[in-house]
Structure 1
């Protein structure tokens, strides 16, 4: 009686699982920013993926929708976030601001996001004891 040998299929599945586990964290951030350090409690996990606005060291804005490497102006970011917030008003909105960016630039982005309909905007920081 001919039987199917399942062991090679399990080996392939485990290799694919390892590949996905290694590459998934690398896909999280599209723009390299140096996050400021702060001791704060993390927010509770949300079911939906957050909307992330990145501000690099040069003050350029990026959004994690569509082409993450495309530099956007503040009006475009406000418009796109407004469209997303109308579709799903409970979607969390976060800012990844480089530590070299002036405080006023981050506040301007926060104000624009709130004008776009984001009920609250979170700032992403790094734990002081967790250097990258």
Structure 2
């Protein structure tokens, strides 16, 4: 009676695990933003990857779709977010606003995202602890 040798499968699984552990931190790319600190409850874990609009210290806007290092206009971000929300309405939308950005500019981005169809817009902060 023949038996299946599972040792090679275990080796492959361990190699894949190491590859995923090494590449996972590289997936969180984006624009360097100095987030404000705030004590807040974390957002519940979503199955879908969120759309992240970053506002750097100079007030430039970036979106985590396609080329993340490309500066985008607010109208372009509104259009792209609207397209994604139409395809997947439950996609979470988050804003990474630098602490040096005026509050009014972050509110302008929030309004544009809600006009694009985002049901709710979250603000990302750092834990002060």
Give the alignment's TM-score, normalised by structure 1. Answer: 0.85
- Partner of 2:89, secondary structure, is coil
Distance 1:89 1:108 in 2: 21
Does residue 45 of structure 2 align to residue 45 of structure 1?
Answer: yes
In the alignment of these two chains, the number of paired residues is 129
Give the CA deviation at 1:96: 0.8
Give the CA deviation at 1:25: 1.9
RMSD: 2.1
Q: Is there any run of 5+ residues in structure 1 with no aligned partner, and where?
A: none
User: What's 1:83 paired with?
Assistant: 83
Deviations 1:51-84 (A, max 9, x none): 1111111111111111111110001001111111
Show the 5 A alignment for 1:61-72: 61-72=61-72
Does residue 20 of structure 2 align to residue 23 of structure 1?
Answer: no
Distance 2:38 2:10 in 1: 44
Distance 1:66 1:11 in 2: 35
Distance 2:18 2:92 in 1: 29
User: What's 2:112 paired with?
Assistant: 112
Give the alignment's TM-score, normalised by structure 2. Answer: 0.87
Distance 2:6 2:117 in 1: 53
- Partner of 1:24, secondary structure, is helix
Distance 2:24 2:34 in 1: 20
